[in-house]
Amino acid sequence: QLQLQESGPGLVKPSETLSLTCSVSGGSISSRSYYWGWIRQPPGKGLEWIGSIYDSGSTYYNPSLKSRVTLSVDTSKNQFSLKVSSVTAADTAVYYCARHGTHLHGQFQYWGQGTLVTVSS
């Protein structure tokens, strides 16, 4: 069974960069051609897609976040990562990593448990 686990600081100061890593176990991140994604959920609100990355490194971002977001993948460590720069309180959310489909119109079938990131001084 594929498992995903987010890791990173739970508290980030305003204007700094939020960095999270998703570790994948139970399968290789590059064994099949899947996209891997990040989704966030502000407290009490709905789901917001941040972006998705292919195992080759090609990326797709939410247009509303594109200028501040960078996704990367490290197949040697079976991990993929998220960076959000110049964070504000509006970036406070539970951040989820998930396996996207083999196509961009596919589903998010496997999810991490989520990690709460609070932006505060």
Partner 1 sequence: SYVLTQPPSVSLAPGKTARITCGENNIGSKSVHWYQQKPGQAPVLVIYYDSDRPSGIPERFSGSNSGNTATLTISRVEAGDEADYYCQVWDSSSDHVVFGGGTTLTVL
Determine contact, residues 82/74, Cβ cutoff 8 Å: no
- Is position 102 an interface residue for partner 1 (rule: CB under 8 A)? no
How far apart (Å, rounded) are the C-alpha atoms in residues 107 and 59? Answer: 17
DSSP symbol at 30 = T
Binding status of residue 27 toward partner 1 by CB under 8 A: no
Torsional sign, CA 88, 82, 50, 22: negative
Where does this chain touch partner 1 (CB under 8 A) — which range of 13-21, 26-34, 46-54, 72-80?
46-54
Report the nearest approach of partner 1 to the CB of residue 58 (Å): 11
With binding defined as CB under 8 A, does residue 52 bind partner 1?
Answer: yes
Is 80 a binder of partner 1 (CB under 8 A)? no
104 contributes a contact to partner 1 by CB under 8 A: yes
Nearer to partner 1, 34 or 108 (CB): 108
Compute the half-sphere exposure of residue 44: CA atoms within 13 Å on the CB side of its CA. Answer: 1
